[in-house]
Amino acid sequence: MRARPLIALAFGLALPALSTLAQAPASPATQVPATLKDAFHGAFYVGVAVNSAQITGADAQGDELIVQQFDSITPENVMKWALIHPRPDAYDFTLADKYVEFGQQHHMFIVGHNLCWHSQTPAWVFKDEKGNPMTRDALLDRLHDHIKTVVGRYKGKVQSWDVVNEALNEDGTMRQSPWEKIIGDDYVIKAFQWAHEADPDAQLNYNDYNMESAAKRKGAIELVKKIKAAGVPVAVVGSQAHLHLSGSAADEEAAIEEFSAAGVKVAITELDIDVLPSTWNHTADVGAKVEEKPNLNPYANGLPDDVQQQLTKRYADLFAVFWKHRDVVNRVTFWGTTDKGSWLNNWPVRGRTSYPLLFDRDGKPKPAFYAVLKAAQQ
């Protein structure tokens, strides 16, 4: 597209091929590093969510890009309960072990995602051997066993754990998940307590979406205070940051500042920017489903130049905020490596052509990539 070189020139940057990114020295004129991890080294980790194909080596291009550009990884799915603990009497660490080995091999900051969530948790977790709902004490025992086993296996290897995921409603109240209904609100505190016992040196995170909303953010801060009041360390609040072209970077800045005032660091844990039309209020609830309609997939043949420019500016504005608050932000993780592998191609409308990340469907850097590099020079 013609807009690519035009946007690059606007940022004073060239457009090298992906294969040369790791080797290319910074331009003497701009001194802009060629990789994300180099650009933000010493400020915060730049991470990426990795999928099974990348963990097993089946996606060689994806692996090359991950190693070149990022210094932190998060597993998309292989550590979620349904995959790592599929049956009451069996754990399957096959892919999780490979994930951790990949991170260790490349000297990355390794994130475990996640220990307790209402989604992608098998139905058997909440039922006894007769199919009846578990009692509070029995479900607590089951949660304890899971956390002790998983965290204990990777003690000293996984540096950071998303302990509890998405425990809040949009108004900041506790979500009526099976965890909450059977155990009560204190399941969150128990999960953090047991994760800390299993690995006292691991960084523990609470992770949720729509932290840009003042009401939900207030609920998250109250939750953090309750965990701390129980004597359990919670170091980080993860703001997923599944964003859209609309909105302002000021919303993200407000969240960072308020969480900092509450005494926790902030990780941007699942960053992507949806450029496609929305009819579902931009929620990141994985249970959302929307009927496929042509008007919801307007860019099947490529992203128009004007939308590409909007995406570039949105990323530039966001990273200007992250850079400004690098004393509070300790990690920024993209939810996927390239546009081709993004979950937004199939959620909540299946089969769409989405463009939410810094690398296109062929693994080549987009104009937004260079805008993000430039943000570290401000």
> Which residues are known catalytic residues?
166, 270
Cβ within 8 Å of residue 321, ≥6 positions away:
249, 250, 252, 253, 256
Label residue 328 exposed, middle or buried (CB < 10 Å: 0-12, 13-18, 19+). Answer: middle
- Here the tokens at position 102 are 């990949």
How far is CA 83 from its chain centroid?
A: 18
Q: Are strands 236-239 and 329-334 parallel, antiparallel or unpaired?
A: unpaired
- Residue whose structure tokens are 């504005």: 317
List Cα–Cα distances, 95 to 53, 322, 334, 373, 378, in angstroms. 10, 32, 21, 32, 40
Which DSSP state fits 367?
Answer: H
- Here the tokens at position 370 are 């260079």
In this structure, the chain runs to a length of 378
Radius of gyration of the chain (CA): 20
Q: Hey, which residues does 333 pair with through a beta bridge? A: 47
List Cα–Cα distances, 354 to 279, 296, 321, 360, in angstroms. 15, 10, 25, 10
Structural contact between residues 66 and 48, judged by C-beta atoms closer than 8 angstroms: yes
3-state secondary structure of 220: helix
